[in-house]
Structure 1
Amino acid sequence: MFCNQCEQTAKGTGCTQIGVCGKQPDVAALQDLLIYACQGLSVAAHAVDQKGQHDEATDDFVYAAVFSTLTNVNFDAGRFPALINKAVELRECMKARAASLGASLPATPALAFAPAADIPGLVKQGEEHAINAVDPNADVQSLKQTVIYGIKGVAAYADHAAILGKRDHAVAAYIYEALAKALRTDLDLAAWVDLAMRCGQANLKAMELLDAANTGAYGHPTPTPVPIGHRKGKCILVSGHDLRDLETLLQATEGKGIDIYTHGEMLPCHGYPKLKAYKHFFGHYGTAWQNQIKEFAEFPGAILMTTNCIQKPAASYMPNIFTTGLVGWPGAVHVGNQDFSAVIERALALPGFTDDLDKGEVLVGFGHNAVMNVAGAVIDAVKAGKIRHFFLVGGCDGAKPGRNYYTEFVEKAPADTVILTLACGKFRFFDKKLGDIGGIPRLLDIGQCNDAYSAIQIALALAGAFNCGVNELPLSLILSWYEQKAVAILLTLLSLGIKDIRLGPSLPAFVTPNVLNFLVENFNIKPISTPDEDLKAILG
C-alpha cells in the first residue's frame, strides 16, 4: 500500500501499512484499480468525444466512481468490484461506439484490462496499477498525481450537481482527456502544467453547476441564525454535504416528532429558504468531521452519513450510524434509493434529547447573492477606511497538529478586518463573537467547500467595483487543506491567476521540490508561518 493523497498522510510522505484515515490496504488497491479502469474507459470516451458524441449516463458513472475513491468516502471493499466491472462494461460499449464512428484508439493495456473474478485477485491487480507508480520522471509524476487528485475533487462536485440535474459535458470531457493522458509517459512538464490549470477551470465549471443546482432547487441562502444547542425530543443527525439527501429526510420525518440536526459541512444548509422552511429542521450539533468519534458517541439519536467525511465508527454508536449514496463502512447499515425508513425507525427507538440546552447561535447564509445584496455598504465601508482588509480563512479541518493557527489568526485579525470563511475549516472559530463593522458582520460564513465558487464571485465583483484585478484587492487567502476537493479548489484559484495564497498546515506530500518551486515562482504560493508573522507581512 502507498497512499499520499491527503494532508494527514503518515510521516508527511505516504501511508504504507494502513491509512491514517482508516483505509485498509485492500481498499487502497481497489480504489487505484477503479481509477485505472476509469482510465481505460476514458481513453475510449475521449476518442468518441473527438467525434462530437458522448453519453450522459457514462459521464454520471465516472463522476460517481472517481468520487468514491476520494478520502473518507467508501471504506467498504465489497462495494468496489461492481464499480470496476461496470467501468469495463462501459469501456467496451465506448470502444464499439468509437469503432462505429471511425475513431482510432491508442495502444494501451488499459483498453484490454480484464478484472479478476474475486476481491483478492482485484487487489493484486490494483497493486500493479498504483497511482503513484506510473512515470519515471518524478516531477511529471508529481503533476500527474496533482491532476488525478484534482479530478477526484472535480468529480465530487460534478456528481452532486448531476444528482440535482445540472450537467455540462465539458467537465466530463476534460476528465476523460486527463485520465487518458495520465496513462502516458511521453508528455512533458509543460503539458502537465496545462492539464493542471485546465483541471482548475473544469472545477470552476463544476462548482458553478453545483451552485446553480443548489440555489435552483432550494433558493439562494440568506443570513440565518442557527442554534448550536438542542431541544428535547427524538433526533437525527445528518453529516456530509448532500442537500438532496437532507431534503428527502426532512420530507420523510415531517410530522413524526423528530428534529433534524446538521453536523460538519451540512451547517450551511440552514441558510437555504426551502430547507429552513421545515419547522423540525432545528439546529447544528458538533463541529468538524475529525471530531465525530466523540461527538457521535454522545448524540442520542440516529446518524446519517451523506457523501464523504466518515471516520471509523466506534462500537458504541455503530448501531446508530447509517450510510447512503457513495459512502460506505464495513458493518454500517447502508440505505439506498432515498429510503430512510431504517434511519427513522432507529431514531424513534433511541431516547433523543431529554432536555433543552441553549448554547447560543451562529450565523450562516452569506453566499454570493446575499453578499452582493449589501455590496454597496461593503464598498462604502472600504472606501471610508472602516474595512481595511478581507481575509478568506477556510478550507478543510483535520486532526493533524498545526491547525490552531487558523483559530489564532482569526482571533488576532484587527477589528477593522472582515473574515470570510467556508468549508469545515470554519469550525476552528465558527462560534467566535467578532462583532460587526457598521452592521456588516466581521465573520461571514459563505458555505460548504464547493461554495469557493461564491467566494470567487464575491472577489470578482469587488474587483469590478474597484476597477482593479483580484490580486490588487485588500484580500488575502489563508487556506487549510486535507483532501482532494481542496486540491481541485487550489487549482481553480491558480488557474484564475490568483497569487499570494498561504497554504497549510503542511504542503502536499505528492508535490516535488521542483513543482513547489514552480508554484512559488509563478504564483507566490507560500506555507503558513505564525499568525503574528503572517498578519504583519500582509497588513504591514
Structure 2
Amino acid sequence: MDKKMFCFQCEQTVGCTGCTGNAGACGKKADTARLQDELTGALISLARAVDGSTAISKRTGQIIIEGLFTTVTNVNFDDASIENMIQKVRVEKERLVPDCSKCQSPCGKTDEYDMQQLWDANEDIRSLKSLILFGIRGMAAYAYHANVLNYEDAEVNRFFCEALFMIGYGESVETLLPTVLKVGEINLKCMALLDKANTETYGIPEPTDVTLTIEKGPFIVVTGHDLRDLQLLLEQTEGKGINIYTHGEMLPAHAYPFLKKFSHLKGNFGTAWQNQQKEFDHLPAPILFTTNCLMPPKSSYADRVFTTEMVAFPGAVHIDEKKDFTPVIEKALELGGYKEDQILTGINGGTKVTTGFGHAAILSHAGTIIEAVKSGAIRHFFLVAGCDGAKPGRNYYTEFVKQTPSDSIILTLACGKFRFNDLELGEIGGLPRLMDMGQCNDAYGAIQVAVALADAFGCSVNELPLSFVLSWYEQKAVCILLTLLHLGIKNIRLGPSLPAFLSPNILNFLVENYGIAPITTPEEDIKALLNHSK
C-alpha cells in the first residue's frame, strides 16, 4: 500500500504502528505531515551549519525552538504557516553559511536531511532517533515558554543542535543511546529553567480551590500552557465586563499569586483536551489556544477559535506577536456568554478542583510528611501523572486513584489529572490525599519532592515508598520520561499503550535496565507496586 504520510509520534497513532493514510489520528492531513518532515529535515540542515566550536546565537536558537515546537502533536495544522517556518529556517542557514549555496564543489554537509531515511532505517536506529527527535520536540515547547519570559539557557539551546545533528548522522546504537539519555539530562535543566521563569515572574504557586461554575455574561476560555498569553489577556480584558476561564493545562495558572490578583480570572471550564469538540460545541464564548492540544474545530464553534504563538489552524484568526487580543475580546462581547450561571462539574461530578501543590508548597510541609511516613500514617506515594487522550483504556487512571489505599498520597500533574481531580479523597495529617502539582513541565517539581524525601530518609529515590504511574500522549511526555530514565528512576508503569516507536530490542533494553512496564489493571498494579516498596 502506498503511504501518503508516515507519523507515529503520538500515543493514538493508528494500529499502534503509524499513521500512513490521508490524515493522522490527530487530524492533520498527509500534506501537513509531509511539510512537518520537510521542516525537520531543514532543521537538521541548520544544525549542521552551526559551528560546533562556538555558542549558538540567540536568533538561531529561537528559530530551532520554534521549528521543533511547530511539529509537536496538535499544535499546527496550517500548511502556509509551516511553509513560512521552513523558509525562516532556510534563510537562517543561508545567513550562517552563505558560501555553501555558491560552492562549486559541494560537500553535502549542509544539505537538507530526507526524513524518509529515518523512517526507512533499521528499526533499532529508527527507534533511538525517534526518541531523540520526539524528546527534543517536547523540550522545545518548554524552552519556548521560558524564552517568552526572557529566560534562556545556552546549554539547552546548544543541545538542540547537537541532537538534530545526531539524528542526521548517528548510525549506531552505541552512538545514539547516550544522546537519548542526554535528552533527559538537558530536559531536566530546561524544566528547571521554566520553573524559575514561571515562579520568578508570577510567584510561588499556592494551593487554590478553583470553581467549575461559569458565571453569566461574556467570557473567554484560555487553553494551552502559556502563562504569558493568559497574563496579557487578563490585562487587556480588565474592566471590560469579561470573565476569563482556564481550560486543560491552563488550570494551574489559578495558583500563581500574580495571576490570582485579577478578579475576573474566575474558574476553569471543561476537562482535558480530547473532550473539546463536545465541550466547545455551541459555546457562547471564544476560545484562545496558546499551545497544544488543538483538535480540528467543529463548525458549531469554528468561528470562535483563536490561535496564538506556534498554534495555527486554517481559517482560524491568529493573534500575532503584537498580542492585540481585540478580536477575541470583540467576539466575547458579541456572543455574550450564558444568560444564567452554569453549574458545571468534573468527570466524576465534583463542582470544584484544587491546584497549586508545587514543590515549594509540598516541601513546606516536609516535617509533617516525614513524621507521617515514620508513624505509618502515610504508607505510600503515587505519582499518577501525564497526558490524557481519547483512546479506550484511560479510565484505568480514574479507577487506579479511586482504589489507592487510604494511607497513600497521590501526586498528579498535566492534563491526565482531569480523570480524577474532582474526587474527594480525604486528608492525612491535614494534607489532602490528592495534590495537583501543576502542568506537565511541573514534573520538575515532582522530581524535587522525590529527591528531597530521599535525602531526608537517607536513601535513593528508587528506595522510597514512591511509585510512578504515567500516562502519555505526545512529545512532552517523551522528554519527561527520558528525564526520569536519566535520573535512574525504575519500575515506571506506562500506559495506556506503549509507544509505537519503541522497537522490541529498545523496549527490552528499557525493561531490563529500568523496569519499565505497561499498565495492567488497577488492582494488579497497586498490589505489585505496594509489594515492591516493602
Which TM-score tier does this pair reach, normalised by the shorter chain?
A: over 0.9
Q: Any residues of structure 2 matched to 1:490-509 within 5 Å, and which?
A: 490-509=481-500
Q: Which residue of 2 aligns with 1:196?
A: 180
Change (3 A) 1:108 1:22: farther
Change (3 A) 1:285 1:16: same
Q: Any residues of structure 2 matched to 1:70-469 within 5 Å, and which?
A: 70-95=72-97, 109=108, 111-113=110-112, 129-130=115-116, 132-133=118-119, 135=121, 137-184=122-169, 187-336=171-320, 337-358=322-343, 360-469=351-460
Q: Please, what TM-score do these two structures have when normalized by structure 2?
A: 0.94
Partners of 2:106 and 2:414 in 1: CA distance: 42
Q: Which residue of 1 aligns with 2:347?
A: none
- Provide the aligned length of Structure 1 versus Structure 2: 516
Q: Which residue of 1 aligns with 2:348?
A: none
- Tell me if the contact between 2:55 and 2:158 (Cα under 8 Å) persists in the aligned partners: no
Partners of 2:107 and 2:481 in 1: CA distance: 31
Partners of 1:288 and 1:238 in 2: CA distance: 13
Cα distance, 1:131 vs. partner? 6.8
Can you list the C-alpha shifts for 1:228-269, whole angstroms capped at 9, x where unaligned?
Answer: 111122100000110000000000000000000000000000
Give the match's secondary structure for 1:111. Answer: coil
Can you list the C-alpha shifts for 1:406-431, whole angstroms capped at 9, x where unaligned?
Answer: 00000000100010000000010010
Q: Amino acid of the residue matched to residue 22 of structure 1?
A: G
Cα distance, 1:52 vs. partner? 2.8
Partners of 1:199 and 1:108 in 2: CA distance: 29
Q: Any residues of structure 2 matched to 1:473-488 within 5 Å, and which?
A: 473-488=464-479
Give the match's secondary structure for 1:75. Answer: coil
- Tell me if the contact between 2:223 and 2:247 (Cα under 8 Å) persists in the aligned partners: yes
Give the match's secondary structure for 1:420. Answer: strand
Q: Amino acid of the residue matched to residue 169 of structure 1?
A: A
Partners of 2:67 and 2:202 in 1: CA distance: 26
Q: Amino acid of the residue matched to residue 7 of structure 2?
A: C
Can you list the C-alpha shifts for 1:185-237, whole angstroms capped at 9, x where unaligned?
Answer: 5x321221100000001111111111011111100100000001111221000
Residue 60 of structure 2 is aligned to residue 58 of structure 1: yes
Q: Which residue of 2 aligns with 1:526?
A: 517
Partners of 1:30 and 1:108 in 2: CA distance: 25
Q: Once structures 1 and 2 are overlaid, which stretch shifts more, 67-76 or 334-343?
A: 334-343
- Tell me if the contact between 1:44 and 1:98 (Cα under 8 Å) persists in the aligned partners: no
Change (3 A) 1:222 1:302: same
- Tell me if the contact between 2:9 and 2:474 (Cα under 8 Å) persists in the aligned partners: yes
Can you list the C-alpha shifts for 1:110-161, whole angstroms capped at 9, x where unaligned?
Answer: 6144xxxxxxxxxxxx9x53374253x2211110011101010111111111
Partners of 1:67 and 1:351 in 2: CA distance: 34
Partners of 2:120 and 2:139 in 1: CA distance: 22
Cα distance, 1:107 vs. partner? 7.9
Q: Which residue of 1 aligns with 2:30?
A: 25
Partners of 1:107 and 1:380 in 2: CA distance: 68
Q: Once structures 1 and 2 are overlaid, which stretch shifts more, 518-527 or 328-337?
A: 328-337
Partners of 2:148 and 2:93 in 1: CA distance: 22
Give the match's secondary structure for 1:434. Answer: coil
Q: Amino acid of the residue matched to residue 145 of structure 1?
A: S
Percentage identity across aligned positions?
Answer: 54
Q: Please, what TM-score do these two structures have when normalized by structure 1?
A: 0.93
Partners of 1:411 and 1:3 in 2: CA distance: 35
Residue 4 of structure 2 is aligned to residue 5 of structure 1: no
Cα distance, 1:332 vs. partner? 1.1
* 5+ long unaligned stretches in structure 2: 345-350
Change (3 A) 1:211 1:87: same
Q: Amino acid of the residue matched to residue 306 of structure 1?
A: T
Q: Amino acid of the residue matched to residue 296 of structure 1?
A: F
Cα distance, 1:89 vs. partner? 1.4
Give the match's secondary structure for 2:318. Answer: strand
* 5+ long unaligned stretches in structure 1: 100-105, 114-125
Cα distance, 1:53 vs. partner? 3.2
Can you list the C-alpha shifts for 1:349-377, whole angstroms capped at 9, x where unaligned?
Answer: 01212212445321100001111111111
Change (3 A) 1:107 1:502: farther
Q: Amino acid of the residue matched to residue 58 of structure 1?
A: T
Compute the RMSD of aligned alpha carbons. 1.7
Partners of 1:358 and 1:13 in 2: CA distance: 42
Give the match's secondary structure for 2:143. Answer: helix
Give the match's secondary structure for 1:419. Answer: strand
Partners of 2:155 and 2:182 in 1: CA distance: 11
Give the match's secondary structure for 2:381. Answer: strand
- Tell me if the contact between 1:72 and 1:310 (Cα under 8 Å) persists in the aligned partners: yes
Q: Amino acid of the residue matched to residue 71 of structure 1?
A: T
- Tell me if the contact between 1:306 and 1:324 (Cα under 8 Å) persists in the aligned partners: yes
Give the match's secondary structure for 2:411. Answer: strand
